[in-house]
Structure 1
Amino acid sequence: MFKLMKLEMKKNDFKPYILAAGIISVVTLMFAYFFAAIPLIDPSVREGSPEVTTLSFKLMMVFILNTAAFTCLSTTMLGKIVMAAYQEKNGYLILSYPIQRKKILVSKIWLVILLNTLWTIVSITVVDIIFLGTQSWLPFSNEPVTVGLLVDQIPLIFTAVFLVTSISLLALAIGWWRNSLPAALFSGLLLVCVPSNLSSLQNIFLIIVVAAIYTLAAVIAYHLMVNKVKRMEV
């Protein structure tokens, strides 16, 4: 499978996606500072919504913004690399390869998943480090940066990976069924709204439960897509 993944890397131009991943990190960091500056711009926010002033809230926003953005990026990549390959005008080319069709599909999907997993982890980690690292000379909060705060980010990072992977796979399945990339992107946006809304509660347990449900559904969708490709061989 790794040989097929290398071939996919050579066949597709990933530079725009790498650039998009970098832009996501920069924009997320800017939004983190924006959220941090709100209580300074409008002091009434401290009284009406004191949770907004905490570092935990700001880091939760980093988590959800990265999750939403990389879900869209992953869904777009899956649509371009997977859906486009099995459209009617390209399907006969895939079916003519002297390789198991399942392996081709699996290599395409896992390449996108691995890339977005790496980018999601790097993005959240780098943004968190930069944002918290600047607290010493650009303090947006009187709250100290503690080891416990840093440790709390570990489950968020892995939850983001599972959400990005599962939602993009579910969106791919829906888009493939509808034969529409816009339908896949719209589905991804709708699915990511659930953990986004839960993030306002700052309850990581509920978000993990949603991620687990999405992951189970994504596994089922994945096997359905693989079986669909197997039927195309007959």
Structure 2
Amino acid sequence: MLHLMKLEMKKFKFGWYIKGALIANIIITALFVSMNYIQEVEKDVIMTNADDAFLLIGTMVRATFIVFAAVLLAQLVIEEYKNKTIMLMFSYPIKRKKIIASKLTIIAILTFITIWLSNTVVTGAVFVLHGYFSFISYSITFTDWMQQAINMIPFAIAAAGTSLIPLYFGMRKHSVPVTIVSSLFVVSFACSYNPGFPVVMIIPIQLILAAIGMIIAYLAIRDIEKEDAI
């Protein structure tokens, strides 16, 4: 499995993903800073403490990289089926299940790592920038930042599983647009925040969504040895 994952990483060259993640982190940080400046000017209170700030950052990060994961699904799986290049891989003396499982594992692991690192980087950048520019009216301490890095782990794990849900929709007609659009619907629910029912904060719901993603991944490979890839 590890060998297959290494081959996939070499084959698809994930440099674009790393660059995209860095740009996304910069944009999320800029948006957060801008929102705080607007809050101060307009006196429209959105965030009153560090927890509110971390919730907003975490939501933006998870939403962004669940969509990124859909792009990975489209590239590593859906396009392979659509272009029928998957048949070449299936001709190798390797079980089909392992081939598809390696692709999905790469996506889930990358999503987890990127969400956790991005959340840590963005909150760290906010902490550092606030020390120079004082653009927030509440305090964020180093301890708060460290605690947030720890608290984000289960949410990042859940998001990694949730990111596989678009696979179900994309595989129905081997459609790249459907895969990516469906991820937006997943994000709209998984990252929704309503004061009475803040889905984005409820870890049991996030874990249920992750379980659904894992089940979809399992169903995608369960009978693949018997199915015609075309």
Q: TM-score, normalised by structure 1?
A: 0.87
2: distance between equivalents of 1:205 and 1:184?
22
Residue-by-residue CA offset, 1:178-198 (whole Å, 9 max, x unaligned):
321111111111111123322
CA distance in 2, matches of 1:193, 1:52: 21
Task: Specify the alignment match of 1:155 in structure 2.
Answer: 151
The alignment partner of 1:137 has SS state of: helix
Q: Is the 8 A contact 1:169 1:222 kept in 2?
A: yes
3-state SS of paired residue (2:133): coil
User: For 1:229, what is the secondary structure of its paired residue?
Assistant: coil
**1:78 match:** 73
Q: Is the contact between residue 60 and residue 202 of structure 1 (CA under 8 Å) also seen in structure 2?
A: no
Aligned length: 228
Inter-partner Cα distance in structure 2 for 1:233 and 1:109: 19
Is the contact made by 1:55 and 1:141 (CA closer than 8 Å) also made in structure 2? Answer: no
**Residue 169, structure 1, aligned to residue 158, structure 2:** no
CA distance in 1, matches of 2:182, 2:59: 17
Q: Contact conserved, 2:190 with 2:200, CA < 8 A, in 1?
A: no
Identity %: 25
Structure 1 residue matching 2:214: 3-state secondary structure: helix
Give the aligned partner of residue 133 of structure 1: 128
Where 1:145 maps in the other structure, the secondary structure is: coil
Amino acid at match of 1:130: A
- Per-residue Cα deviation, 1:53-81 (whole angstroms, up to 9, x for no partner): 43322221211111111111111111111
- Cα displacement (A) at 1:133: 2.3
What is the Cα-based RMSD across aligned positions, in Å?
Answer: 2.4
Distance 1:197 1:232 in 2: 37
Gapped regions of structure 1 (runs ≥ 5): none
> What is the aligned partner in structure 2 of residue 7 from structure 1?
7
Residue in structure 2 matched with residue 211 of structure 1 by the alignment: 206
Gapped runs of 5+ residues in structure 2? none
Task: Find out whether 1:196 has 2:191 as its counterpart.
Answer: yes
Residue matched to 2:38: 38
| Distance in 2, Cα, partners of 1:230 & 1:7 | 21
Residues 124, 157 of structure 1: 8 Å contact kept: no
Whose helix fraction is larger, Structure 1's or Structure 2's? 1
